[in-house]
Amino acid sequence: MIAIPLSKEDSTVISDLYGNAPYFALLDLSSGNFSVVENRGCGNGIDTAKCVKDLGASRTIFYHMGEGVFKNLEENKIKVYSATKVFLTIEEIYRNFINDVSKLVTKSNCDTLLDPGTSSCSCECDKN
């Protein structure tokens, strides 16, 4: 299962947010089907990484991601892939994984692929 951050519940395009993405699409690679769930960690990157783990995802993909979130996901054995700053659709992500052309983030390439972005939280939650 691949966790894909979404800006809106009905979106089919990867969000430029990760820790602040209010939703995730959970894509099943065996069928190509996906469901959308709320990001219970919205507003906090580490809490989002925990949410992705709790949802049972073995992989995730991002547009922007910081080093702390990457390290937490990696420690929890979740493979992290980069969308390489392209707004991919869920269908394109599915095809990229099926064709084995997705860009895996590793310790050797994370310096060039990771960045925290500059977007603000779009969560529909009160984080006082």
**Alpha-carbon gap, residue 108 to 125, rounded angstroms:** 36
Give the model's pLDDT for residue 125.
Answer: 46
Do residues 75 and 50 touch, judged by C-beta distance below 8 A? no
pLDDT over 70 percentage in the chain: 90
**Alpha-carbon gap, residue 39 to 45, rounded angstroms:** 11
Give the model's pLDDT for residue 118.
Answer: 53
Give the tens place of pLDDT for each residue, 26-55: 999 999 999 999 999 999 999 999 999 999
For residue 120, CA distances in Å to 45, 64, 113, 116 come to 12, 12, 20, 11
Give the model's pLDDT for residue 115.
Answer: 82
* Closest CA relative to residue 42, chosen from 33, 51, 55: 51
Do residues 46 and 54 touch, judged by C-beta distance below 8 A? no
Model pTM score: 0.90
The 34-38 sheet, strands edge to edge: 34-38, 23-27, 2-6, 59-62, 79-82, 103-104
For residue 55, CA distances in Å to 18, 89, 106, 111, 119 come to 15, 21, 22, 27, 24
Give the tens place of pLDDT for each residue, 6-30: 999 999 999 999 999 999 999 999 9
* DSSP-based three-state secondary structure for 54: helix
List domains and CATH numbers for the chain.
2-103 (3.30.420.130)
Instruction: Name which of 17-21, 53-57, 97-101, 122-126 the model is least confident about.
Output: 122-126
